[in-house]
Amino acid sequence: MKIVVSGSSGLIGSALVPSLESSGHEVVRLRRRRDMSGEPSVVWDPAMGVLDPTALEGFDAVVHLAGENISGRWTAKKKAEIRESRIQSTRLLSEELARLSRPPRVLVSASAVGYYGNRGDESLDESSGSGNDFLAEVCRDWEAATGPAAGKGIRVVCLRFGLVLSPKGGALARMLVPFKFGLGGPIGGGMQFMSWIALDDVTRIVEFALAEPALRGSVNAVAPNAVTNREFTKALGRALHRPTFFPLPAFAVKLLFGEMGETLLLMSQRVQPARLLEGGFSFQFPRLDSALLSVLRKPCPALEP
């Protein structure tokens, strides 16, 4: 297939592009500026609403991963950037795809399990309703922004990603330094559920979504075995051969990280990949221990002595 990918330099995109290319696909990156290396690319500016639709003609598929990093204090400005970077870019891309004379067969667009909000130990699948906090609202509007493409008859898959396990970025990379020095521990009460996914399975899920014609709509991109924060802490300690005796109380999370910390570190989401399992997808890493051992065996500066 000929595939255009946005967000290709991010954690998922930087792993996905070489995986797609190794599978024989032709990949073109959707970038904010022209690539001076001569690598094939399409230039756009989502904030300014700039995207030449003729540059998208002839593609078989689109993978849309672009969006402002959600880490950092959620000031009013930061929250606006998080929201606008996802919704405006998705709407622009979806509208331009809908105008094509030869639109792609499929659009795979990122979303997140933040859609569900704080749900305790409730088991959640794609039929579960959304939450009512900031991130849940962003995810609802993010997915809705693909509407013009779906209305054109393009098969749209919105992948609700959980915590992506990789030492190269994301939450796990930030955990490694304190855990390496034996300073890790459960966060808050430690009973909040974490829905996670190994990066290798993420790339396989995207390729599955591109290839599986029956898959459409919202799809939970998480491993089938969510764990509590306390269980995650113990598993990471085992993988690093380090103790995990230093808890981070909930009040400290709120003091240090504000709304971002409360949403990402204390909220509980026990999410199941029901539609992937129904569709026959087989996880390479369904269990946390094996997933952590795999990703931490790969070279990572944070683990060097």
pTM: 0.93
Task: Please tell me the distance from the alpha carbon of residue 266 to that of residue 253, in angstroms, as a whole number.
Answer: 8
Q: What is the tens place of the pLDDT at every residue in 115-169?
A: 999 999 999 999 999 999 999 999 999 999 999 999 999 999 999 999 999 999 8
Q: Give the tens place of pLDDT for each residue, 237-273.
A: 999 999 999 999 998 988 888 988 888 899 999 999 9
Of 79, 103, 272, 294, nearest to 201 by C-alpha is: 294
What mean pLDDT comes out for the span 46-70? Answer: 93
Question: Is residue 147 within a helix (H) or strand (E), and if so which, with residue range?
Answer: helix 147-151
Residue 71 — pLDDT band, cuts 50, 70, 90? Answer: confident
- For 9-130, strand residue ranges (E) read 26-31, 41-45, 50-51, 61-64, 106-112, 123-124
Angle separating helix axes 170-180 and 229-240, nearest 10 degrees: 60
Domains of the chain: 2-303 (3.40.50.720)
